[in-house]
Amino acid sequence: MLDFSQAVATEDFRFPAGDVELSARLYVPQTAPETVVVLNSATGVPRAYYQHFASWLAAAHGIACLTYDYRDFETSLQGPLRGSKVTMADWAVLDMPSARAEMRRRYPQAKLWVIGHSVGGMLGPVQPDIDRVDRMICVSAGMVSLADHPWPYRAMAALFWFGHAPLAARVMGYLPGKALGFGADLPAPVYWQWRKWCTSPRSYLADIGTDLPVLNPAGVGGQIDLFAFADDQMVPAQAVWRLAELYGPKAQRHLVAPQDHGLAEIGHIGVFARRNAAVWPRLIA
């Protein structure tokens, strides 16, 4: 099993994102990088989860990689979660562009790639500086609705959106994800917006021009790759291809089956797990 963590230098710091500072870790290669990556996390997934992938980028490919937690989440939480006003749109419009600005400041001559996991790639088309990205790699990112999920997973998703989770969010003033078995606590407005988008056939399109900026007409400046996984029940391929249409005609679509890489399963979150490192070269090829 690959482990580059001992061979890679890291730097922990905070960087500004509007009126807050976000907690980050930078994985630094031994030589000056020609390419750098901002890794946007999936919803409810802390930056630490990506440590093995980020170490691999730095050690095996000489790519500097920035991982960070969104505002009011995990190591970027700076006050009580109850009563937080932070939305998923704030993560997309304020935090993700700020992370890119930090990497441009540190590596002004390097090519800038973004690897967006789930929500980390889903909202790229509405970000005002996305045309300055040299390559966008969306991993398990799609405009998913409840009808996209296969059974019986669809029943579990419906319960999360209409059963115990919304009740808990109302009572607690935040989503107690750890107690519910989701794995992470989230601000209530993040949950409500996430719920709205994932239960609407049009996802976030109805919020463009109000809660979200208009689509950036320039699109991504360079290459765009969207990866769907054959065993991903949370964001199936049809939802990923829907997002590909929003990214425009340059978007390249890749459907990956676990067995293609000698793996038993990948799913939605598992692609960045160290046990699934066999698929990592495919993402950056």
- pLDDT, one tens digit per residue, over 210-250 is 999 999 888 888 999 999 999 999 999 999 999 999 999 99
pLDDT at 5: 61
- Domain residue extents for the chain: 5-148+209-284
DSSP alpha helix (H) spans, the chain: 51-61, 88-90, 96-106, 119-122, 153-162, 164-172, 177-180, 188-198, 237-247, 280-284
My answer on whether omega of the bond before 80 falls inside 30° of 0, hence cis, is no
Summarize pLDDT for 106-142 with one digit per residue, the tens. Answer: 999 999 999 999 999 999 999 989 999 999 999 999 9
Helix (H) or strand (E) holding 67: strand 64-68
CATH of 5-148+209-284, one of 3.30.70.980, 3.30.2130.10, 3.40.50.1820, 3.40.50.11260: 3.40.50.1820
Span 34-63, average pLDDT: 97
Span 25-39, average pLDDT: 97
Summarize pLDDT for 61-80 with one digit per residue, the tens. Answer: 999 999 999 999 999 999 99
Q: What is the end-to-end Cα distance of the chain in Å, rounded?
A: 21
Task: Report d(CA 97, CA 79) in Å as an integer.
Answer: 23
